[in-house]
Every structure is written in structure tokens, then in C-alpha cells.
Structure 1
């Protein structure tokens, strides 16, 4: 029996990074929220490594994109930094050097035969807009984001045909307003839910502007990148299943439903109303969300969520939190990535594929991130100086096998992007864990292709691979 898995014709084999994690902060007219946080609290970042240099893409994009071509990638997602492109945050007037840089990156990507996918927000709000208006708490910031997006569309829409509004917008809510892992580390459930609404509104408003500018007629498509963490109940008890449904409504459907269906999950709205933390909105804003649905969906998948019914005595003193309706469940025997502290559960790829097929109109979608961060990869260097990251190849194969199963059962998936092409800076983790097909030496900035980079080239050229001898 032939055990080769072939993917649909024209399938995207690519990888994703972001502006703030790869470019370095050279020559930007504004600081992002992360630039500022590092400046005031460098000790919050692993080894005190900040976003100044990152993988130096600003200076080395030509060489970097040539390496992406060398490892066979046919598509590449990065982001346009609001803080780099825009000189005047109120009017949306562009910065001359930002325009030059992004034009050069886009042209170089295309000249290498690689499809550019451009994202507009990757956790990198300009710090001025937080200090002045409260960031995403403000509807005015929503308007300014639309002006930024419009500038980007007008400058680059003739060549960039795939756009996304936000990367992992639920992380803005969780990190900045609930769980204190992104600056400004506010713990305020009411503000968190307003931010959740405002970011959905910002995404839909940008999509509306995209269409008003006629970019669809020019072959352009616009979507959003969501990190989906399927919520699996501890047991099949009614209480555990209900807990998992509520967790799913908060962390997945709160952005997935508005993006694809144009409305929020009824369950979520009902709970927020009951708890007195529902966002403020107008009929007109709701209409924008209703009409501003996506052309396609990007899905970042790393780990599942395991939940159980709320147990007595497990309430905390942080005020209203989504956690009042469930507890996280530490499932015995789960496979772990010990470096990142995340569960490895490839079957969720299949579950996501079928969920999109059955519950979200089988919208066109792609895996926009999937990856394995490992600390201390230098211990896997062979005599030729190549990192032999077989663990990463196996991780990708396992996930791709389940993705292929979903596609073979009719899910409309058109691509697979890993995180990330070149080891990049990862927020407070900095360079603690490495994810790339290509290693970067932080001292010399030299870049070398890992074993996984040679593997993905073969996969891309063959549009498939021989599956593992046994599924895990």
C-alpha cells in the first residue's frame, strides 16, 4: 500500500513571522507597546534580549528571502508594522523609509516566486495610542487602525493579494487585560470584554474599507489569523461538557464567529449580560461586524485546551474572569513539549478541520502557524554544523497527517505555514525557544539551514510526503 500523502494542487507550503519579531526596530518613527515595555522593564525578557535587532530582517531581507526560496517555500506571511509604516498616527500619512522598506520586501518576495501574505497587527500597537487613548479600549483607535490599513492597501494592494487584519487577537485580550503576560498587564474583565468587541470591530471595519477600495475586484482577499485551541472536556459528564463549551465560546468562537458568521456566540453574549460585563456597542457598529466577514481564515494551532467543571473553592480574587465558568484540567499522561510547557496533540488538526467544514460554511482556510519551540538546539549540531532537528520533522509530519485526513474528508484547507522560517524573537521569551527552519547566530547574525529546512523543500517539491510508519 502506498503511504504517500499528496495535498491539493496549488497547496501553500510556507512559513510565518512578523515585523516586530524579525525586522528589528531600526528607523521606525514610533515605538510599539513591546519596544516601550522592553525599555522600561528589560528584565521581563529572557536573557534581557529585546526587539532591537531580532533576526535583522530589516537589513538582510534579500538574503533571508533567498534562503526561503532555497528551502522550497512558495508562500510567506509577515506583518506590516503600524509603527514603521505610518508617520502621522492620526492621519495615516506614511513614513518614507517605511514605504521604501515594505515595497522592497514585497517586490523581493514576489521575485523569488513566493506569495506574500501581509498581516496588519501582530501585538504591536503604537505605545502613544495606549498612553493617549487606552489602546484597544478606544473606538478612536479603531478608526486610526482603519486609516493605517487604508494606507497599506493603497501602497501595496497592487501586488499583495492576500491580507489579514489581526494575528491572534484573543491574545490581546488575554495578555493585556486578563492574565498579565503582555504590557500593560491590566486585570480587568469589563475592559477585556470591551477590547474583545473593539478588536472585532476594527477587523470588520478594515475589511469593509478593503472592499470599498475595490481590492476584491483586483483579485485581493482578506482574512484574519486566529489561534484556535480546541477545548476538550475532562469527561463526558454534562458539567464538564458545558465547561468546555463555555471555554470554547470565550477563547475560540469570540473571534471565529464574528469573522465568519458576522455575529457573536449567543452563549457568550448571554453570560456577559448576566454578569454585567457586556461591551458597549451601537447598532451601526454591530452592522459593520455583521457585514465585515472574512474571505478566508488562517488558523494558528499549537496546543489544545483541557477543561473541567468549576470546582468549589476555586474562585479567585481578581474580579470577573472567564475562568468563573471552568477550571483548566491537567490531564494525566499527556505528551508535552517540555521546553515550551505545551501539550502536543496532533489530532486537534483534524478536529479543527472538521469543525470549520461543518460549522463555519467550509470557508477556505489554511494553517497559518504550527511549530515546535526547542531550547538549546546547539546540542543537536552535527559535524557539518547543521542542526539535526528530527524532533521537529516528526512533529510536523504528525500534524500534517491529521490535517490531510481532514482535507480528504472535505475540509477546504489550502495551505500549511509553520512558525517560523528563521529563528525569531518571541516576545518575553526572546530567543529561549527556537522554531525556525533556519538557525540564526545572535552574535554573528549568520544563518544556517537546519535539517527540517531540507525536509520542507522535499515536501514542497513533491506536494506531500511519506507518512510516519505509525500514527501517534
Structure 2
């Protein structure tokens, strides 16, 4: 069978400023929470590799953009570093303006549509020290930063993304201790989540007021919740997991309102965030033009089989337990289940329950450890496993599109092996392999395969 995709389909990849630029203390950039956290707790990072250099996009963006063109990219998502653009929180850094102008112009010159994110986990330390997303002051600061970005670059950026995976900021920083500021408390986490959606909505409102030619959206990591069985208790567990980890962001971003069931649940347990009367009207103004979907793995859950301690703090885990499905296919390096049909289920859910909003797969990918094992005599990484991974996901995407889903593109995570938060370079994801010692870039077999897919608009 041949799989052909709609005319104008976006083929490309995604990255972020913090994970690719490097030059963490160059070009006038201020510290982010990642620079700070690495300084105080380097042992939390794989092989104690921090964000200082990453994959040197700041120095090598022209070469990298040419490589993108060579492997068939017609679109690419990255982000602007708030800490680079506004290092003191107030003034604009002209070196950063020049850099981002050059990147955007180079992408366009090479026929690559720029998708630009405003926030990809990299809170400037300056604003974190003032309370971060716990504070409304940061919300207002973000809105000003967004307006500056729109005015500086909005004439050439076709698609803006306000946030990447806001739920990860909430989970990592305020519930499960895998991101800075390593705090714990559900009500605080709920406040952070609410403030991020307020900030998102302010950016959307501002963007629309400027009447710029592009579109604005958000990137959410949608993780379908599959129940262990059709037992009512398992179905309820799945429903509540979906409320917390998907719909808490998806509903306000696409429908302009929070799910009534989530509000009721948080109210019952006295966990609602503090809000002002006008906030709900602002949330309603934050409905996106375009939804980016990051999909890596499903969430499988079951009804709790053990009781919660009456002294335990409130957590989403009160309502479900994780379930390991027998016989599941795994990526053993990342510890994640590979379930290609999940991408179809997400798209059909958006078709049926979210107005069939225009969307695209903004991230999907396979991290593999020790990829040097797969370097052939010609020096190329023969990553057939990544080709299989992409192909099988594309087949399910194609089925959803054939059934009417408005999916407009596919971006792999990521273009070049990049630094991945605390995981550093332990798992490689790129179409391009990166030699950390020499910074030499080499196209993997998957990059060559993807170039053909893009040129043929299918396979």
C-alpha cells in the first residue's frame, strides 16, 4: 500500500533553544533555571553534562539549516530563549535579536517554514527568583515578552507556539521532582498550571490584536489514557487520569474553558487555584488556531488496588494506578511503551470532541542509547529501528487523515542529537548524529529515508 499525504504537508523536526543553542553564557544571555540547577546539583544530570554547550546551534545554525534542507525539511520548530532575548527581564538584547532574525531568515531562504515557540521549560532565573509561574507577576512579564517577540519576528513567523508541554512544568517542578524548582504540593501545582494558561491566553489575545499574518497555537503532550479493562472502576480511573494530564490543558486551549468534572473534583478536595473574576473570560480568549501534539507513549491505568493513607497529601495518583499491559512493545532504552495506534486515537478524539481543530504532530521520536553500536563501515548510523518507528506512526496518522482528521504535518524529535535535560546525551533522537568531541554532524540512515518521504509526500 502507498501512503500519500495532503498537499502542503509539513515535514520536519523540532528542537528548543535550551537543548540546541549552547552558548549558555555568551551573546548576552542570562541564566535560566537549568543553568542554575546544574550549578547547584550537577549530580542530577547524566554524566554531569549541563546545558552550557548542547549541540552548538548558536554557532552552527547556517550549517544545520542547510542539513535540514538536505534531508527534506519544509518546516522546523524551535524556540526563543526568553533569558537570551531579555536577560534582565526588561530590556531587549540586540545580539539575540540579530541571532533570531538570522535563524528565521535562513530558514525561509532555504524553503523551511519557521514554527517558533516562546517557552520550552527554560524559565529565566530572574523570574524564577520572583516566584516563577507561582506568581502573577511572571504571567504579566511573559505577556510583555510575547508581545516583543511578535513585534520583532511576527512578520516572518508562520506559526507561533506559546508553550511546549506545560503539564511537564507542573509535574516535574511541583509534583514528581524531576524538574527545578523541585517543589511539592498539588494546590501550588494547580496554581502554576492555571497561571501558565493565563499567560498563554494573554499571548493569544495580544497576537490577535496585532493582526499578524500567521497563526498561534500551543504544543501539548497528549498521552491517551487506556483503562486496564471495561470495568466501571477502571473506566473511571482512566477518565480521571485523562482529566488531570490531558484535558486540564487541552480543554482551555481548544474550547476556552476547563472541564466541569475537573473543576468539581478539585473543588471537592479544596485544591482549586486562586483566580480573579476576569480570568475565565481571558481563558476563553485563549482558544488556539493550531494545536501541536507531542506523542511518545500511552498512559495505561487501572483502578487503585491499594488504599491511600489518610495522612498523604492530595495527588492525582489518589484516583488510579499505572498498569503495565502484558505483551506491550517497549523502547527498552527509554523505558517507554511503543504504541503507534495512540497517534490515531488522539487525532480521532480531536476530530470528534474538539471541533476537528487543525493540528500537527509536533514531536514523536525514539531515544536510543549507545547508537555508536549501529555505525557501519561508511561511518553512518544505520538506525532502521527509527525508520520503522516513524513509518508505523505515519501509517496510523494517514488512516486518521483519511477518516477526516485535520492533521497538517509531522515533526520528529529531533533534527540533531541534542541535550535532553537531566538525561543529557544518554539517549539519541536525531536524524543527524553529533560527535560530542568534534561537533561533526553526520546524516543517519533515517535522515536519508525521511528526505525521500518528504520529497514524495509519502512512502
Q: TM-score band (shorter)?
A: over 0.9
1:18 to 16, 19, 31: 16
The answer to whether the aligner puts 1:44 opposite 2:41 as a matched pair is no
In 2, the alpha carbon distance for the partners of 1:436 and 1:143 equals: 36
The answer to whether the aligner puts 1:161 opposite 2:155 as a matched pair is no
5+ residue gaps, structure 1: 466-472
Q: CA deviation at 1:88?
A: 3.5
Matches within 5 A, 1:254-273: 254-273=248-267
Q: Which residue of 2 aligns with 1:460?
A: 454
In 2, the alpha carbon distance for the partners of 1:160 and 1:239 equals: 47
Q: Which residue of 1 aligns with 2:341?
A: 347
Q: 1:450 to 1:315 in 2, by over 3 A?
A: farther
Determine helix, strand or coil for the equivalent of 2:59. helix
Determine helix, strand or coil for the equivalent of 1:6. coil
8 Å contact kept, 1:307–1:327: yes
TM-score (norm 1): 0.96
The answer to whether the aligner puts 1:138 opposite 2:132 as a matched pair is no
Matches within 5 A, 1:51-90: 51-89=51-89
The answer to whether the aligner puts 1:320 opposite 2:314 as a matched pair is yes
8 Å contact kept, 2:228–2:325: yes
8 Å contact kept, 1:315–1:324: no
Q: CA deviation at 1:316?
A: 8.6
Matches within 5 A, 1:37-436: 37-89=37-89, 91=90, 93-132=91-130, 134-215=131-212, 219-315=213-309, 319-436=313-430
Q: Deviations over 1:380-424 (max 9, x none)?
A: 011100000000000001111001000000000000000000001
8 Å contact kept, 2:33–2:180: yes
In 1, the alpha carbon distance for the partners of 2:50 and 2:307 equals: 40
Moved over 6 A (4+): none
8 Å contact kept, 1:137–1:198: yes
In 2, the alpha carbon distance for the partners of 1:152 and 1:372 equals: 32
8 Å contact kept, 2:174–2:185: yes
Determine helix, strand or coil for the equivalent of 1:69. helix
Aligned length: 457
In 2, the alpha carbon distance for the partners of 1:455 and 1:176 equals: 38
8 Å contact kept, 1:229–1:251: yes
Q: CA deviation at 1:27?
A: 2.5
Q: Which residue of 2 aligns with 1:438?
A: 432
TM-score (norm 2): 0.98
Q: CA deviation at 1:333?
A: 1.4
Q: Deviations over 1:67-118 (max 9, x none)?
A: 00010110000000100111341x3x31011101101100111111100000
Q: CA deviation at 1:314?
A: 4.9
5+ residue gaps, structure 2: none
Determine helix, strand or coil for the equivalent of 2:162. strand
Q: Deviations over 1:245-287 (max 9, x none)?
A: 0000100000000000000111110110000010111121110
8 Å contact kept, 1:187–1:318: no
Determine helix, strand or coil for the equivalent of 2:446. helix
In 2, the alpha carbon distance for the partners of 1:250 and 1:265 equals: 10
Q: CA deviation at 1:313?
A: 2.9
In 2, the alpha carbon distance for the partners of 1:13 and 1:161 equals: 15
8 Å contact kept, 2:88–2:126: no
Q: CA deviation at 1:312?
A: 2.6
In 1, the alpha carbon distance for the partners of 2:310 and 2:244 equals: 18
Please identify, of 314-323 and 276-285, the stretch whose mean Cα deviation from structure 2 is larger. Answer: 314-323
Q: Which residue of 2 aligns with 1:468?
A: none
In 1, the alpha carbon distance for the partners of 2:305 and 2:246 equals: 23
